[in-house]
Amino acid sequence: MDSPQKNDPQPEKAESWKMFDEISPRYDLVNRILSWGQDVSWRKKMADYLPNETGLVVLDLATGTADVLLALLKVRPEIEQGLGLDLSDKMLTVGRRKVDARGLAGRIILRNGDAQDIPNPDNTFSAVTIAFGIRNLPDPGKTLSEMYRVLKKGGRAIILEFSLPANPVIRFFHLRYLRYGVPIVGGMLSGNFQAYSYLNRTIEQFPYGKQFLGLMGQAGFEELRSQPLLLGAATIYYGKK
Ligand X SMILES: C[S@@+](CC[C@H](N)C(=O)[O-])C[C@H]1O[C@@H](n2cnc3c(N)ncnc32)[C@H](O)[C@@H]1O
The amino acid sitting at 176 is: R
CA geometry: angle at 219 spanning 166 and 203, to 5°? 35
The least CB distance from residue 138 to ligand X, in Å, is 8
Instruction: Please report how close the Cβ of residue 64 comes to ligand X at its closest, in angstroms.
Output: 3
| Cβ-based nearer residue to ligand X, 130 or 213 | 130
C-alpha–C-alpha distance, residues 212 and 140, integer Å: 10
Instruction: Count CB atoms within 10 A of the CB of residue 145.
Output: 15
How many C-beta atoms surround the C-beta of residue 226 within 10 A?
18
**Least separation, in Å, of the C-beta of 80 and ligand X?**
21
At its nearest, how many Å lie between ligand X and the CB of residue 27? 7
Q: Is 25 helix (H, G, I), strand (E, B) or coil?
A: helix
Distances (CA, A) of 12 to 9, 41, 139, 147, 198: 9, 30, 11, 22, 10
CB 43 within 8 A of CB 160: yes
Question: Are 6 and 32 in contact, with CB atoms under 8 Å apart?
Answer: no
Query: In angstroms, what is the minimal distance from the CB of 24 to ligand X?
Result: 8
126/143 with CB nearer ligand X: 143
Question: Could you list the residues that contact ligand X (CB under 6 A)?
Answer: 16-17, 20, 62-64, 67-68, 85-88, 91, 114-116, 131-133, 136-137
| 146/168 with CB nearer ligand X | 146
Q: From residue 187, give the alpha-carbon distance in Å to each of 31, 180, 182, 238.
A: 12, 11, 8, 32
Residue whose CB is less far from ligand X, 56 or 59: 59
User: Residue of minimal CB distance from ligand X?
Assistant: 64
Angstrom distances, CA of residue 15 to CA of 116, 163, 185: 13, 22, 23
C-beta of 114 vs 204, nearer to ligand X: 114
CB nearer to ligand X: give 109 or 170: 109
Q: Minimum CB separation from ligand X for residue 20, in Å? A: 4
* Minimum CB distance to ligand X, residue 168 (Å): 27
Spatial contact of 26 and 94, defined as CB atoms under 8 Å apart: no
Smaller CB separation from ligand X, 56 or 87: 87
